[in-house]
């Protein structure tokens, strides 16, 4: 095992530990907001502040990473979240409400900065050809952390209290910061490629870097849009699961939710093992086609999960949903990493903004729809939209794959088509040139 791979494994371990604290606090903070304010509306506002802060961070993180080292951004993002939790623990009773919303904003901003910096810097951390393995390992760690965080949140909050939960979360961010500190220095992406940014109007006015990234490959913009609609679909099943579970068993509403997410995570982890072994044997990276097909499978299985099937059918459905979700995460992240460094960070930042927007808008729309409609039609509409767009995306990718080589070359010369790296065997219409 090389030193670079060893450092990355340590980093992913730190990320998984901090993710455990994050998912623990998803439950603990929402309960604490309600306990402090005694208003359900405050819980919604709290989540809105967090998503809004993440939305804004996604707009600026590309420019930040063009000037600052990804290592420094990841380090300070963890330290900021740890400091926010400390402020919450020490806040006197009269200041708890404003402290809560300040923490929400800090966590929203810092969480987005960290994940964009991590995803965009993986090509600089690991060896060439190891991106799929690295992304799969990262997703595996987060999936297991999610199950552990959700599963232990009730015990931690009920038996040990909110303060303990916040202290545990603070400690996880400090651990993650320590693993980041072990990384070698990572150059700002603005100096990674040595190529000037594209300009419009004869070079007199710069185009926004995120727009340049999306314009570089026609399918890439559709890919990011699909990711945003997928986030809207995710908001639907996240909001509908408690409602559906309560309808199944009023006395034990947490049973279905807990079992579903545990099985989902198992499917996610299993597909990561397959992807890691596939990558180790030198298989082609999972490309844009895998992302589109995976999105269709994931959305379809989430719809079926609310169809009222018995446990014997629902468990395999949840397993497939987790596997498809893991596949789309790895294929999407790996694909954006084929962009040159300068554009890569802006693309990941724009993606985070689109995902936060999709999830936030979805939570509002879905919460309103669930007041009138049953979970199945609500989830069906939200994930159905993702399926329809994914079908368009898959058709576009297949059409680009079927283009003759001569036409593809002419498109590249004219700047109208995409081109992957010279050694890329899987040309699916979403790569961009590194020149």
- Do 276 and 316 sit in the same domain of this protein? yes
Q: Is residue 306 part of a domain?
A: yes
Same structural domain for residues 216 and 173?
Answer: no
User: Are 125 and 242 within one domain?
Assistant: no
**Per DSSP, what are the bridge partners of residue 199?**
206
pLDDT at 46: 79
Total tally of structural domains belonging to the chain: 2
pLDDT score recorded for residue 32: 82
Do both 323 and 251 map to the same domain?
Answer: yes
Last residue of a domain, one of 152, 186, 220: 186
Q: What's 81's domain CATH number? A: 1.20.1250.20
Q: Which residue, 121, 154, 186, sits at the end of a domain?
A: 186
Residue 155 covered by a domain = yes
In a domain, 432, yes or no: no
- Confidence at residue 259, expressed as pLDDT on a 0 to 100 scale: 82
Is there a domain that residue 196 lies in? no
Residues 37 and 119 in one domain: yes
SS3 call for 206: strand
My answer on whether 274 and 133 are in the same domain is: no
Examine residue 200 and state whether it is found in any structural domain, yes or no.
Answer: no
Residue 282 domain-assigned (yes or no): yes
Residue 227 shares a structural domain with residue 313 = yes
Query: Are 119 and 161 contained in the same domain?
Result: yes
Residue 200's pLDDT is 40
Could you give the 3-state DSSP secondary structure of residue 429?
A: coil
pTM comes to: 0.75
Per the domain annotation, does 182 fall within a domain? yes
82 and 160 fall within a common domain: yes
Same domain as 360, residue 249: yes
177 shares its domain with 244: no
Average pLDDT, 10 consecutive residues per value, the chain (435 residues): 83 92 81 74 75 86 84 93 92 86 91 90 81 84 83 78 90 94 74 42 48 62 90 88 81 75 86 79 70 94 94 93 91 83 79 87 83 91 95 90 55 41 42 37
Place of tokens 């034990």: 252
Q: Which residue has the tokens 């993650």?
A: 176
Spell out where 186-307 has E strands. Answer: 199-200, 205-206
| Long-range contacts of residues 114-117, Cβ cutoff 8 Å, at least 24 apart | 114/73, 114/74, 114/77, 114/78, 115/352, 116/57, 116/58, 116/61, 116/62, 116/65, 116/345, 116/348, 116/349, 116/352, 117/61, 117/65, 117/70, 117/73, 117/74, 117/77, 117/345
Give the range of the structural domain holding residue 86, as residue numbers without chain letter: 1-186
Contact (CB, 8 A) for 38 and 165: no
Q: Are residues 272 and 369 in the same domain?
A: yes
User: In this structure, is residue 201 part of a structural domain?
Assistant: no
Side-chain half-sphere of 26: how many Cα atoms within 13 Å?
Answer: 16
């Amino acid at each position: 095992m090389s030193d670079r791979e060893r450092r990355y494994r340590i980093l992913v371990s730190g990320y998984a530990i901090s993710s455990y604290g994050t998912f623990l606090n998803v439950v603990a903070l929402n309960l604490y907001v309600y306990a402090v304010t005694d208003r359900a509306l405050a819980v919604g506002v709290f989540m809105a502040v967090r998503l809004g802060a993440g939305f804004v961070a996604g707009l600026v993180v590309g420019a930040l990473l063009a000037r600052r080292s990804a290592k420094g951004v990841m380090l300070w993002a963890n330290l900021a979240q740890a400091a926010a939790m400390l402020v919450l623990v020490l806040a006197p009773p009269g200041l708890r409400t404003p402290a809560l919303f300040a923490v929400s904003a800090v966590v929203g901003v810092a969480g987005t900065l960290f994940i964009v910096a991590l995803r965009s810097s993986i090509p600089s951390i690991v060896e060439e050809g190891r991106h799929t393995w690295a992304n799969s390992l990262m997703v595996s760690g987060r999936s297991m952390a999610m199950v552990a965080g959700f599963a232990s949140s009730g015990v931690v909050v009920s038996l040990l209290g909110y303060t303990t939960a916040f202290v545990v979360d603070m400690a996880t961010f400090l651990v993650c910061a320590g693993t980041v500190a072990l990384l070698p220095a990572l150059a700002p992406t603005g100096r990674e490629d040595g190529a000037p940014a594209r300009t419009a109007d004869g070079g007199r006015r710069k185009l926004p870097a995120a727009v340049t990234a999306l314009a570089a490959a026609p399918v890439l913009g559709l890919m990011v849009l699909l990711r945003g609609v997928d986030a809207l679909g995710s908001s639907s099943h996240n909001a509908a699961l408690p409602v559906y579970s309560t309808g199944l068993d009023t006395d034990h509403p947490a049973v279905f939710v807990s079992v579903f997410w545990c099985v989902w995570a198992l499917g996610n982890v299993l597909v990561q093992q397959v992807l890691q072994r596939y990558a180790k044997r030198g298989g082609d990276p999972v490309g844009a086609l895998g992302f589109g097909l995976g999105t269709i499978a994931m959305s379809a299985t989430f719809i079926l999960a609310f169809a009222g099937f018995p446990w014997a059918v629902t468990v395999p459905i949840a397993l497939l949903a987790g596997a498809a979700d893991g596949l789309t995460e790895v294929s999407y992240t790996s694909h954006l990493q084929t962009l040159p460094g300068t554009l890569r960070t802006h693309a990941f930042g724009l993606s985070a903004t689109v995902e936060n927007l999709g999830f936030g808008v979805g939570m509002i729309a879905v919460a309103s729809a669930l007041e009138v409609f049953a979970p199945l039609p609500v989830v069906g509409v939200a994930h159905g939209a993702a399926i329809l767009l994914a079908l368009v995306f898959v058709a576009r990718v297949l059409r680009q794959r079927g283009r003759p080589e001569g036409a593809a070359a002419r498109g590249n010369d004219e700047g109208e088509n995409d081109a992957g790296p010279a050694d890329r065997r899987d040309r699916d219409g979403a790569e961009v040139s590194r020149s």
